[in-house]
Amino acid sequence: MKIGLVGFAGSGKTTVFNAMTGLGVPVGFGGELRLGTVRVPDARLDALSAHYSPRRTTHAEIRFCDIPGEYGAARKGLSPRGLQQIREQEALCLVLRDFENPALGEPPDPGGELAAFETECLLADLDIVERRLDRALKEGADPVELAAFERARDTLERERPLRTVPPGELGRAPFRGYGLLTDRPLLVLLNRSEARAEEALPSELAARLAAVGAAGLALSAPVEAEIADLEPEDRAAFVEALGLREPALARFIRKAYELLDLISFFTVAGPEVRAWTIRRGTRAKRAAGRVHSDMERGFIRAEVIPYETFASHGSEQAVREAGLLRVEGKDYVVADGDILHIRFNV
């Protein structure tokens, strides 16, 4: 599961990627496609770790892909290679430039970049959908699949991204493997100059994002890079001095995680406190398999303490004494923040 950083050259993709991954990829135009693993910040995990003092604390992780900014260097659009790289991503983060970049010689135009990217994706999808329908005309097709592609064509022709059609109205299964870009979850990152790091997303842009079914966030990449560079013990003071509650990058990473429809459950086992990643809607037996295949195979039950219950009672013991420890079977749908003890037998 990976999320692709996309956008115009010079919008700050690599700067954001470096701040998240600590990989130190050279900034500037061009470059290679890079893949990096990013820890998902989670205050609940930090609190569990402080409570249990385990030898090891393991965060959930997601992967980001820094896709080189050949795209739109001269606003000429995506190359076939660029398109292919973007199609391979499960979700997209579009970085928009909202700072003066002397190397580009053009004032920032984030709204224009968003529109250009959207148009590009709409046209690329329409091309795929029309080809599929042409082939169906010649060779015939499954009616359900045909209906889905016809609905997709109508949507795209009205310049609506596919993600704006609710899942109940349009089954996505026929689209699998076609790499449709407007169906991908989209998170838009407005990359601000340092001086304006604190400003909220302009309401016009926010409205535009809502209309295309995208999430949005503003931050200043160099400020975030500076924070990421600090020693952990200096970070909090610096963030506070900037008047922030936490680095915006932390919020961004969590939003990306949500965008992929991922949630975390926790385990506390002797030396390790750990966050595990599952898709929202995953059942307990399956979730147990994330920890160990034996736990899935020999699953008996899960003892569940929602993180909030743990936090309000202060300890596992107190939760037990209050009679709030829940025992759930294999079909229990695991919730974000559940602390699980899996009972199993192999």
Ligand X SMILES: Nc1nc2c(ncn2[C@@H]2O[C@H](COP(=O)(O)OP(=O)(O)O)[C@@H](O)[C@H]2O)c(=O)[nH]1
Q: Which of Mg ion, ligand X, none has residue 101 at its interface (CB below 5 to 8 Å by kind)? A: ligand X
Q: How far apart are CA 31 and CA 322, in angstroms?
A: 57
Q: Which is nearer to ligand X, 174 or 222 (CB)?
A: 222
Per-residue burial over 258-293, b if 16 or more Cβ lie within 10 Å, else e, is bbbebbbbbbbeeeebbbbbbeeebbbbbbbbbbee
Among positions 2-21, residues that touch Mg ion (CB under 5 A) are 13-14
Distance in Å from the first CA to the final CA of the chain: 30
| In the complex, least distance from residue 234 CB atom to ligand X, rounded to whole angstroms | 22
Q: Which is nearer to ligand X, 3 or 339 (CB)?
A: 3
How many other CB atoms are there within 10 angstroms of residue 77's CB atom?
A: 15
- Binding part of the chain for Mg ion, among 66-74, 209-217, 311-319, 332-340 by CB under 5 A, reads 66-74
Per-residue burial over 97-134, b if 16 or more Cβ lie within 10 Å, else e, is bbbebeeeeeebebeebbebbbebbbebbbebbeebee
Q: Which is nearer to Mg ion, 16 or 239 (CB)?
A: 16
Q: How far apart are CA 95 and CA 214, in angstroms?
A: 13
Q: Which of Mg ion, ligand X, none has residue 174 at its interface (CB below 5 to 8 Å by kind)? A: none
Q: Which is nearer to ligand X, 96 or 262 (CB)?
A: 96
Q: Which is nearer to ligand X, 2 or 172 (CB)?
A: 2
Nearest to 213 by CA among 250, 247, 249, 169: 169
Q: Which of Mg ion, ligand X, none has residue 193 at its interface (CB below 5 to 8 Å by kind)? A: ligand X
| Cβ-contact 228, 15 below 8 angstroms | no
| In the complex, least distance from residue 28 CB atom to ligand X, rounded to whole angstroms | 5
Nearest residue to Mg ion, scored by beta-carbon proximity: 14
Q: Vertex 193, ends 188 and 199: CA angle to 5°?
A: 65
| In the complex, least distance from residue 100 CB atom to ligand X, rounded to whole angstroms | 7
| In the complex, least distance from residue 219 CB atom to ligand X, rounded to whole angstroms | 8
Integer angstrom CA distances of residue 303 from 10, 219, 224, 268, 340: 50, 40, 39, 12, 6
Q: Which is nearer to ligand X, 30 or 329 (CB)?
A: 30
Q: Which of ligand X, Mg ion, none has residue 277 at its interface (CB below 5 to 8 Å by kind)? A: none
| In the complex, least distance from residue 8 CB atom to Mg ion, rounded to whole angstroms | 10
Q: Which of ligand X, Mg ion, none has residue 37 at its interface (CB below 5 to 8 Å by kind)? A: none
Q: How far apart are CA 296 and CA 198, in angstroms?
A: 46
Q: Which amino acid is at 150?
A: E
| In the complex, least distance from residue 111 CB atom to ligand X, rounded to whole angstroms | 17
| Cβ-contact 1, 260 below 8 angstroms | yes
| In the complex, least distance from residue 30 CB atom to ligand X, rounded to whole angstroms | 8
| In the complex, least distance from residue 74 CB atom to Mg ion, rounded to whole angstroms | 16
Residues of the shown chain interacting with ligand X in the complex, contacts defined by CB under 6 A: 7, 9-15, 27-29, 69, 95, 99, 101, 191-193, 220-222
Q: Which is nearer to ligand X, 195 or 237 (CB)?
A: 195
Q: Tokens 């008996």 label which residue?
A: 300
Q: How far apart are CA 78 and CA 212, in angstroms?
A: 20
Q: How far apart are CA 170 and CA 191, in angstroms?
A: 33
Q: How far apart are CA 330 and CA 346, in angstroms?
A: 15
Q: Which is nearer to ligand X, 14 or 21 (CB)?
A: 14
Q: Which is nearer to ligand X, 104 or 136 (CB)?
A: 104
| In the complex, least distance from residue 14 CB atom to Mg ion, rounded to whole angstroms | 3
- Binding part of the chain for Mg ion, among 65-73, 88-96, 137-145, 210-218 by CB under 5 A, reads 65-73
Q: How far apart are CA 81 and CA 89, in angstroms?
A: 13
Q: Which of Mg ion, ligand X, none has residue 163 at its interface (CB below 5 to 8 Å by kind)? A: none
In the complex, the residues that contact Mg ion under the rule CB under 5 A are 13-14, 69
